[in-house]
């Protein structure tokens, strides 16, 4: 063990720990969930600290020797070499002060080590004076949220959505000649092609991708440089523009400074906007997953229009049963994402005066939503969607049997007469075509043309 001091006094902590006294206090104060902010967020913290020390160095605020040491330590954070040293619970000090100090202390101790000193000797490299120079929790934490979320959307979420959209388009083409009965209000409707149904799913996902990309662009405006409240107190002239320029160099992303640093620190609305778009994706995917479950229901007593690949036994008591487990998994994820979005909405609303103090929970829920939905989409697409098979004869039988075929008679015999044909068809168990011919309303050849299911689905 070693003993460190902070402004409240002495603290004991493990000698091999790179974190320091303030982090150790947070570990003791917040034994809540065992949850930690994820790798992407920690990487973003490293990016912010690296950019800040480079900016301060270029502005003559810190010696070249310290710049090199802090640069190396921050770069190691970015690479993930000390993830196990980020030990603060998600539910922690407001705004993420503990999380910010966790990174400051790790970098300070590692930089001290690089310069030949011992961990805890902050006379060499100080977590506040050097690593946190010209920064505050209040601008580094939202900046880390935006960097990590933008990269997660770009690298994981949009590729996953693009993948499922492409597979849905493939299925739409594969199933384009299969006619079935449509359903509205869970009742028989006019014919539709199975491929048309899947094309609707693909288009819904495409539009969601556009919405997510638009929302992610709001993350490009960073509040870094505003320091505690947006005034930039203790920052050298030019720090704000220089640190953003360094972040752009490190990430390759065209980040910019907020138009108003005061607004950027008071609110975390870009996270809210992105979360809302992700919730929209979850709503779309819930609909698709539910439809897949319905269309594959059976195999003897349900719709049974499609068959899903069997990936595991479905029951601990009913032999041979196979369930739509991948669709069910996706549903669970979507419901979790909707709950996460509600949490983010309440946390964003909780901004008071000059600061939002709920940022750690916003960061956790936003990155969690992106992670589980990205992974869930890939698993659902690869283990279920791409290997779906259609039961052509079953679909065609439903197309012939639907009572809504009588809709096609409206222009020929009128709505009222067509309704009577539909009722008679239901009472007798005969098709609309059979009843129309038997009643002499249409000749066989006319009925075949007017009530051709494929023709009724359009081009």
The beta-strand segments (E) located in 340-416 are: 389-390
Residues paired with 13 in a beta bridge = 2
Q: Which one of 148, 315, 364, 369 is the catalytic residue?
A: 315
Q: Is 185 a catalytic residue?
A: yes
Name the residue among 27, 29, 33, 222 with its Cα closest to residue 105: 27
H-helix segments, 384-431: 392-401, 410-413, 415-428
HSE-up (13 A, CA, CB side) for residue 201 = 28
Pairing of strands 256-257, 221-222: parallel
**Residue 47, SS3 per DSSP:** helix
The Cα–Cα gap between 12 and 403 comes to: 78
Q: Are 195 and 171 in contact (CB under 8 A)?
A: yes
Integer angstrom CA distances of residue 6 from 95, 167, 209, 268: 20, 56, 47, 30
CA quadruple 164, 165, 166, 169: dihedral positive or negative?
A: positive
Q: What count of other Cβ atoms lies within 10 Å of the Cβ of residue 223? A: 28
Helices (H), 115-227: 137-152, 158-174, 194-216
Task: Please identify which of the residues 126, 185, 241, 257 carries the catalytic annotation.
Answer: 185
Is 297 in the active site? no
Q: In degrees rounded to 5, what are phi and psi of residue 4?
A: -120, 165
Q: Which two tokens stand for residue 192?
A: 């539709």
* Distances in whole angstroms, Cα of residue 144 to Cα of each of 40, 389, 396, 402: 9, 44, 54, 56
Cβ–Cβ < 8 Å for 139, 226: yes
Residues labelled as active-site residues: 185, 315
């Amino acid at each position: 063990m070693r003993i460190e001091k902070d402004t409240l006094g002495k603290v004991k902590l493990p000698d091999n720990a790179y974190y320091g006294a303030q982090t150790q206090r947070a570990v003791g104060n917040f034994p809540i969930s065992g949850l930690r902010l994820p790798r992407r967020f920690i990487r973003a913290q490293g990016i912010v600290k690296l950019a800040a020390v480079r900016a301060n160095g270029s502005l003559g605020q810190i010696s070249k020797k310290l710049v090199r040491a802090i640069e190396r330590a921050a770069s190691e954070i970015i690479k993930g070499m000390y993830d196990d040293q980020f030990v603060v619970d998600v539910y922690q000090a407001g705004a993420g002060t503990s999380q910010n100090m966790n990174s400051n202390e790790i970098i300070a101790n590692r930089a001290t080590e690089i310069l030949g000193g011992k961990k805890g000797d902050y006379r060499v490299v100080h977590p506040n004076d050097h690593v946190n120079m010209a920064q505050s929790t209040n601008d580094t934490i939202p900046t880390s949220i935006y960097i990590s979320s933008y990269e997660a959307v770009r690298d994981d979420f949009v590729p996953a959505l693009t993948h499922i959209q492409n597979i849905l388009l493939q299925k739409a083409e594969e199933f384009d000649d299969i006619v079935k009965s449509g359903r509205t209000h869970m009742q028989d409707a006019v014919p539709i092609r199975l491929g048309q149904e899947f094309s609707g799913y693909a288009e819904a996902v495409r539009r969601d991708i556009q919405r997510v990309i638009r929302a992610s662009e709001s993350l490009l405006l960073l509040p870094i440089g505003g320091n505690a409240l947006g005034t930039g107190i203790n920052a050298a002239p030019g720090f704000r523009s220089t640190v953003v320029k360094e972040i752009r160099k490190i990430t390759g992303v065209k980040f910019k400074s907020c138009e108003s640093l005061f607004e950027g620190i008071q609110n975390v609305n870009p996270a809210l906007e992105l979360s809302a778009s992700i919730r929209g994706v979850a709503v779309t995917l819930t609909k698709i997953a539910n439809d897949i479950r319905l269309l594959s229901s059976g195999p003897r007593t349900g719709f049974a229009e499609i068959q899903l690949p069997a990936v595991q036994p479905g029951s601990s008591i009913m032999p041979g049963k196979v369930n739509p487990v991948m669709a069910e998994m996706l549903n669970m994820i979507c419901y979790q994402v909707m709950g996460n979005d509600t949490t983010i909405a309440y946390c964003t609303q909780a901004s008071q005066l000059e600061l939002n103090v709920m940022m750690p929970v916003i960061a956790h829920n936003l990155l969690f939503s992106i992670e589980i939905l990205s992974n869930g989409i890939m698993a659902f697409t690869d283990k279920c969607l791409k290997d779906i098979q259609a039961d052509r004869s079953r679909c065609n039988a439903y197309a012939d049997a639907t009572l809504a075929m009588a809709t096609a008679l409206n222009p020929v015999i009128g709505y009222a007469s067509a309704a009577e044909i539909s009722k008679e068809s239901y009472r007798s168990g005969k098709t609309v075509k059979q009843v129309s011919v038997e009643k002499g309303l249409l000749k066989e050849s006319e009925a075949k043309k007017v009530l051709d299911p494929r023709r009724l689905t359009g081009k």
